[in-house]
Structure 1
Amino acid sequence: AAERQAEALETAIVERRRIELERYVSVASFADSPSGAFRVWPLQLLFHNIGWYLVFEEDAIGTGVGLIRSERLDRLALRRSERGNRRTDDAHSQALRRLELLLHHSGGIYFGNDLQAQLRLASPNARQRNRQLVTLRFCCQGWAFAFIREGLQRYPIEHTRFSKPLPGEHWWHHANAPHVLEPGSAADTHPYPVELDLPPWTVERDIDLRNWLFGFGAGIRIENPAALREEHRQKLEAALGVYQGV
């Protein structure tokens, strides 16, 4: 059934058809996940982490430009493919260009829930795009930094900055790796800074970012933004609390 649905979605994408989807009631969801039935313009099927996702543009009646979102394919039912509602190749291509920029800057498939913020980040003006980004800065212990500095494909290389070695240190790094930040004191437990320029929705709510970053546990110390620093601290305290008295 899933294969048949995927084939029907691929046909709708190729033929630029509007479709009606319904999200299953019993599946996992986030606070801003769509519910019930909704109409969208399907853009692409993507494999991400462990599942297939449908990336679509919400049907924005009267404006022609809608929010771009993604949902796991197995959480959706394709209720209808509308033969009488198709859009132009140009409109489809413009949506794909926006999607390409969103994927590049977000480093994942979560694009927030603010259409105007998406449009600003997808601007053809590079300076305007860069103004939409916020800087995540954290410092690493040596073992964590060794893993992090190898991840050149996770986020845009032009918006990534790594620590230089401590005085007297010599370790291999890729020739294209942006090791431009001054390290902290050798006496610091976390002497290696890392900076990433990311969309605000990625820093504020993206699960993939948190799974990766928080997965280093005490191996990192978040400095900015303050809200993410506090979230990390609370996660670590909650984990410790589970084992108290055991």
Structure 2
Amino acid sequence: MRHGYAIGTALLSAHRLREIHGVVSQAAGRLADPTAQDLLSELKQRLAWGGIEVDDSSPVRAFANRSIVSSALVRPDSLAAERQAEALETAIVERRRIELERYASVGSFADSPAGSFRVWPLQLLFHNIGWYLVYEEDAIGTSEGLIRSERIDRLALRRSERGNRRGDDVHAQALKRLELLLHHSGGIYFGDNLDGQLRLASPNPRLRATQLVTLRFCCQGWCFAFIREGLQRYPIEHTRFSKPLPGEHWWHHPKAPHVLEPGSAADSHPYPVELDLPPWTVERDIDLRNWLFGFGAGIRIDSPQPLRDEHRQKLETALAVYQPA
């Protein structure tokens, strides 16, 4: 009676508890979340105590995304390993500074950190294919450091400093800055310029606007049909879509940002799109390129010129692969 008393009647009904079990099962399985795995084990035990059966039927809603990293096959000292993940979560909760090491042999980008470095861990985020640690660099002599992200299977926790902690208010301010960076960047890449990050997270809208650059491209009809459905891919207040061509009557919500005049019907790409994005997103963000370049010849980039040149070069390089010898 002590174990199962009031389960199913106190906070949520038995039906709702089964739905929660399904959500946690998805996070534990598809997303390989070690915290969810522990929670799932405890939830199963408590539901059994309360006499609530959980069947193995498929849930109504499920995650299609899944982690590409197997926690059972990573290095034992990797942050993706279950015990190391628990130590990392403790450091986040207790606001500790930690020392990380990035493995030398893992995949890297031009501005990826190398070797050992000290950071303030902020949050664990699942993004597309795996779990990432978002952290603030330990900036000596300044109150704020650069916010970055790194996939956890590429990192090892070398030390968690019990004597170096910071207050909840400082941690909360960093999380608020992270939220703004996520909103404006549309992904988890935040560049390598602290001043730029601080300007973008400023409460002054004019100062924020100075940190944005406009990406403009034009679309073929089939391509534009997909793009105009993604109203929340990037901030809607910084998104502008084409109006319909004369005589077209496809539906769009009255509040959707269809404000740009379309090109000529004779143009192969008559539908313009404009996005105001941070410079680091336009210059180096992989997610933007995977999405934009994935449309191939369905888009024609107008500006900025470096991104236009990059798109053209990728198309020419791919075409050259299939040219006869």
TM-score by length of 1: 0.98
Name the CA distance, whole Å, in 2 between partners of 1:141 and 1:231: 19
Name the CA distance, whole Å, in 2 between partners of 1:66 and 1:38: 13
Of 162, 185, 188 in structure 1, the residue corresponding to residue 267 of structure 2 is 188
Structure 2 unaligned spans of 5+ = 1-75
2:92 partner letter: I
Name the CA distance, whole Å, in 1 between partners of 2:247 and 2:319: 36
1:138 and 2:217 correspond: yes
Name the CA distance, whole Å, in 2 between partners of 1:56 and 1:176: 36
Of 248, 258, 271 in structure 2, the residue corresponding to residue 179 of structure 1 is 258
Match of 1:42 in 2: 121
1:237 and 2:280 correspond: no
Match of 2:286 in 1: 207
1:129-163 deviation per Cα after TM superposition (whole angstroms, max 9, x unaligned): 11210000000000000000001121000000000
Match of 2:202 in 1: 123
Name the CA distance, whole Å, in 2 between partners of 1:174 and 1:224: 27
1:160 partner letter: T
Report the secondary structure of 1:241's partner residue: helix
Name the CA distance, whole Å, in 2 between partners of 1:108 and 1:15: 27
Higher relative contact order (CA 8 A, sep 6+): 1
**Aligned-residue RMSD, C-alpha:** 0.9
Match of 1:148 in 2: 227
1:24 and 2:103 correspond: yes
Report the secondary structure of 2:126's partner residue: strand
Structure 1 unaligned spans of 5+ = none
Name the CA distance, whole Å, in 1 between partners of 2:124 and 2:93: 12
Name the CA distance, whole Å, in 1 between partners of 2:214 and 2:83: 43
Name the CA distance, whole Å, in 1 between partners of 2:169 and 2:302: 44
Divergent runs of 4+, >3 A: none
Match of 2:85 in 1: 6
Name the CA distance, whole Å, in 1 between partners of 2:139 and 2:215: 33
Of 160, 163, 166 in structure 2, the residue corresponding to residue 81 of structure 1 is 160
1:23-58 deviation per Cα after TM superposition (whole angstroms, max 9, x unaligned): 011100000000000000000000001100000000
Report the secondary structure of 1:71's partner residue: strand
Task: Pick which of 107-116 and 2-11 moved more.
Answer: 2-11
Task: Pick which of 127-136 and 167-176 moved more.
Answer: 167-176
1:239 partner letter: A
TM-score by length of 2: 0.75
Displacement after TM superposition at 1:126 (Å): 1.5
Displacement after TM superposition at 1:6 (Å): 1.7
Name the CA distance, whole Å, in 2 between partners of 1:129 and 1:7: 37
1:89-113 deviation per Cα after TM superposition (whole angstroms, max 9, x unaligned): 1111111111111000000000000
